[in-house]
Chain A
Amino acid sequence: MTEETTPVVEPNAVEEPLDLVRLSLDERIYVKLRGDRELRGKLHAYDGHLNMILGDVEETITVVEINEETEEEVIRTIKNTAEMLFVRGDGVILVSPPSRTGV
């Protein structure tokens, strides 16, 4: 395998978290955002602030509503889609490859 190859220079290997994000370029990813929002879409671009551009995005907003009568918590999800979405990085909580079952 590649173990035999001797690199000429030290590779800019996956050392930083952002390099892991780089691996997901052109891949579908899962993004958790502030405000109980989740995004699933294809990562087209990102920067150091985790500003991202996602394609074919599905946004899921989780809203917890309390039923006035029964006082039960009703969890409702709102789904939105966008063909191309710029996401400002300051709202990003986590970025991960999609779960195997999801997306």
Chain B
Amino acid sequence: MSDSYFGFDTTMPPLNSDQLTAGTAEITEDELSKNFEEFALESGQDFGCDQGFDPLADQLVETGDDYNEETFGNDITNIGDDFDFTQSNAKIADTIQKEEKLYVDRRKSAPSDNNELLRQRPLFSNLWDDQSGGISVNGNGSYPNDPTNDPKTSPLMPESPISPSIWGSYHPPSTRKESLPRHHHETNLHHPSYENPPTYPPSQISPLPPGFGPPGPPPTARVPTLEEIEKQLQRQAGQSLTKRMLSLAEVEAALLGLNGRPPPLPIYGQTEGAYREQEAAFLEQEAAIREQEVMYYERERKRREKQRKLADMAKYNGLMTQNDKDYINRIQISQLVTDDPYSDDFYYQIYTAIRNRPAQPQMGTFSPHASGGGAMGHERRHRNRGSESGMLKVQQQVLRIVNDVRRKPKSTQLSLEGALGKIALNSVRNPRQLLQVSTKHTDTHQNHASPSGGSHQKVPSISSHGVVDHRKVLRSIENIYWAVLRLEELKRNQEREAKDKWQEKYTELVNKMWEELLVTEPIGVSFPHPFISILSVSKGKKVIPRVLRHCNKDQFTTLITMLVANFEALDVCKTAIGGSNGNIKQSILDEVELFMNTVVPPLLQFVAEAPLKIVNGLLTLFIERNNIIWVAKSKVGLAFLTMFLSRAEILKQGGGYMQGLPLPEEREIMQWQETYNRLFNQLQTYFLLSFPPFMSNIDDMYVWQFLAAMAVGASMEQQHILVTEVRERVLETVVQASRIPQDKATHKITNVNLFLHALGLDASQLKI
């Protein structure tokens, strides 16, 4: 049987039933020996332990042993039998043979397929079982094999399929043909693993049920060695066969017990009903226990699996202390922190300020660093105070790290203490470099260099001399922005810096900005004038109000003078004059609107404070330097004219007094009148051309305003000319107003009245 320690070959031809029924006790020793010998030869199995059965021994060469006596001594007769294995083995052989016979008998009743072999394994131990049950096989004299106890029909059999499944590959079939002693030895070697296999439920090793326990040494007490078994056998050598049977069974039972075998089940049928009953009861019990064991084992396995997983996950528990975690958090936060919220999230800061929404407290606002911007941080500190003290705490923690980082600002990598790797300091502003171009200009960045006209030297203009190419204009504009932004930042910082130093910086930046404006470029070197080119770009227009905020009066005057002198070159003038059909591209109209909203207001403000002398000078220049008829066709041109005319009229009437200006001298008024007359004369017969096409949707209010300004300063004769010229338009408008919805009509009439009121008239007086 494959799972027998004794390696019996279950493929041995079965004995006939007569032999089986004859009973073990009736088999003589001779027969057993013979059978055993035959079997050994037939199966080629070496039972090893009994040399007496080795036929090859007869052919041993017994010569050449001359010195044997010397070596081993020559008194053979005194040799004890303590090493006489042959003798004892011969005796075991009897037992084995007998057992073998029993087994073969049993086996005969079972089919010889491999599955059956597995099932039959427990049966072997029944030898012992029967004995321990107090029923000696030999004592009975005969132990008939009850055909009803056939393994297949036996009530015990349901047990069998369970057992192998629990024990798994307990006995590989390959061990089947191994010789007895070797197998035994192996068993000893394998013992620990058999005794406590990892998947083995502890209960399987548990002692046998009472009454079935082995009479021999307790299974777990010790592992009997081959020598021990042999000794035992030797001691029993003189005993009866029965006794020897018992001892062998004992050994086997001990081994089985040690190997965690289940309690052996009786296989040999009992004729006694009581025994059968007892057995059946036990088996039932046993089955229930097994079932429970199986369930328990399943649960246990799952539990262990779960625990293993938990342990696996938990092995990193406590690896980081709270301090460590905080530290990592701070490192991460420090990457986001800045000492200048305006530089790092300028848009957010200003946008929220504009929207009058309280900005979220920024980390950087708590930075003590005043230099390099972060101007508003100072104010904000007050604003944010008491908002969130928790935030403050984090910020203070973060500050330390930020300062650390700042100490080595030039490194592109940061290796924080305790960090496993380096933290790349690539940022939005400093992306990872893929190319290294010349580094000779890097100094300029360190210096926060301001843009200046010098930059133009480096990039040769591709345009021919006198023509300012677009890119150059854009560069100038961006340089203006550069300066303006720095000026604005400086203004925010004003209260933080020493006044002298601040003023110095401020003046320097204003000068820089002024240079970039190119206002002072000589006229006529290029066309259009560089300043006009700047104004012809929308972002150039947009920057003007911000520029003028930092300009002094002289610069203002210079700027407006330059503008007036080159007025007709402005895009809003030259391109914003409709042709015969009056169609103007929407993009141009947008530019005009932009100019009116950005450039004009500060200039208007300036003119509104200017003395008559300056107004007169500007208008004179305007008339002289531009084709005034042409300019008067543009909205922007009319706006300028209106601006000058209105201001002059106010000054003439003593309005400047309120502004602390002296009343204009008579000579100035005379000069102004001259200028006015020149203008009037030039525009005479062209006034109507200032209007946009009548049917266009353009609001012509600005024209009426201009006409009103002209009318106010005009003599009676000039007023008459004016009215005659625009009479047609007045009437048309009033007629049109009567046909359109009320609100629009009102607007139209109001426009007309701007002019009519200047003449002391009203639209209502008109009879259509």
Contact = CB atoms under 8 A, between A and B. Distances in A.
Direct contact of A and B (CB under 8 A): yes
A27 B515 contact: no
A31 B173 CA distance: 77
A65 interface: no
A84 interface: no
A48 B431 contact: yes
Contact of A14 (B450, B455, B521): B455
Nearest to A23: B474
B444 interface: yes
Interface in B423-437: 427-431
Q: Which of B427, B452, B475, B525 has the most CB of A within 10 A?
A: B452
B515 A2 contact: yes
A11 B454 contact: yes
Q: Which of B430, B431, B448 has the most CB of A within 10 A?
A: B431
A100 B733 CA distance: 41
Contacts of B501: none
A80 B458 CA distance: 40
Q: Which of A11, A25, A48 has the most CB of B within 10 A?
A: A11
Contacts of A3: 453, 456-457
B478 A7 contact: no
Contacts of B317: none
Contacts of A2: 452-454, 456-457, 515, 518, 521
Nearest to A20: B471
Contact of A13 (B447, B455, B471, B538): B455
Contacts of A15: 441, 444, 458
A67 interface: no
A58 B331 CA distance: 42
B445 interface: yes
B190 interface: no
Contacts of B542: 26
B428 A47 contact: yes
B61 interface: no
A9 B474 CA distance: 21
Interface of A is mostly: loop
A1 B456 contact: yes
Interface string A1-31: 1111111111111110000001111110000
Q: Which of B428, B445, B454 has the most CB of A within 10 A?
A: B454
A15 B475 CA distance: 12
A58 B464 CA distance: 34
B451 A12 contact: yes
A9 B539 contact: no
Contacts of A25: 478, 539
Given A26-B542, A49-B428, A12 B453 contact: no
B449 A48 contact: no
B508 A13 contact: no
Contacts of B431: 48-49
A25 B448 CA distance: 20
B443 interface: yes
B428 A48 contact: yes
Interface string A26-67: 110000000000000000010111000000000000000000
Contact of B447 (A1, A10, A23, A97): A10
Given A22-B478, A27-B474, A9 B450 contact: yes
Interface of A: 1-15, 22-27, 45, 47-49, 97
16 contacts: A1-B453, A2-B452, A2-B454, A5-B452, A11-B451, A11-B479, A12-B445, A12-B451, A13-B451, A14-B459, A24-B474, A25-B478, A26-B538, A26-B539, A48-B429, A48-B430
Given A2-B521, A3-B457, 18 more contacts: A1-B456, A1-B521, A2-B452, A2-B453, A2-B454, A6-B454, A8-B450, A9-B449, A10-B443, A11-B451, A12-B482, A13-B444, A13-B451, A23-B475, A23-B478, A25-B539, A48-B431, A49-B431
Name the 6 nearest CB pairs between A and B, nearest first.
A2-B453, A7-B452, A13-B455, A26-B539, A7-B454, A23-B474
Interface of B: 347, 427-431, 441, 443-445, 447-459, 470-471, 474-475, 477-479, 482, 508, 512, 515, 518, 521, 525-526, 537-539, 542
